[in-house]
Amino acid sequence: MPTTMTSREFNQDASRAKKAANDGPVFITDRGRPAHVLMNIEDYRQLTGGSLSLADAVAQPEDTDFEFEPPRLGEVWKDADLS
């Protein structure tokens, strides 16, 4: 399960955030919204290095489980004005 911290918590206890990043990404929020992600260097290199494809980047080992909730766009569709 990923760790989530507010910006204030991160500023007051960066050591806890770094320790938590060894177990998975740490999401840092500003005013309740995700703003930053802290991860260990090995995970970062895996995401950015060599010939890593998008499929490889999002593929996680079977024992890794985390929730992902993308932000809502709000009202996407509007009625067309045909007048």
CA 43 to chain centroid:
12
The strands making up 3-6's β-sheet, listed across from edge to edge, are: 3-6, 26-30, 33-38
Which among 55, 56, 22, 60 has a CA at the least distance from the CA of 39?
A: 22
**pLDDT(76) > 90:** no
Task: Fill in the DSSP letter of residue 23.
Answer: T
SS3 3: strand
Q: What average pLDDT does the segment 3-32 reach? A: 94
Question: pLDDT value at position 66?
Answer: 55
**The listed CATH number (3.40.1620.10, 3.40.50.300, 3.30.230.10, 3.30.70.270) that belongs to domain 3-52:** 3.40.1620.10
If you average pLDDT over residues 10-34, what whole number do you get? 94
What pTM value is reported for the model?
0.56
Q: Given this model, what pLDDT does residue 36 score?
A: 94
Would you say 24 and 64 are in contact if contact means Cβ atoms under 8 Å apart? yes
| pLDDT over threshold 80, residue 29 | yes
Domain residue extents for the chain: 3-52
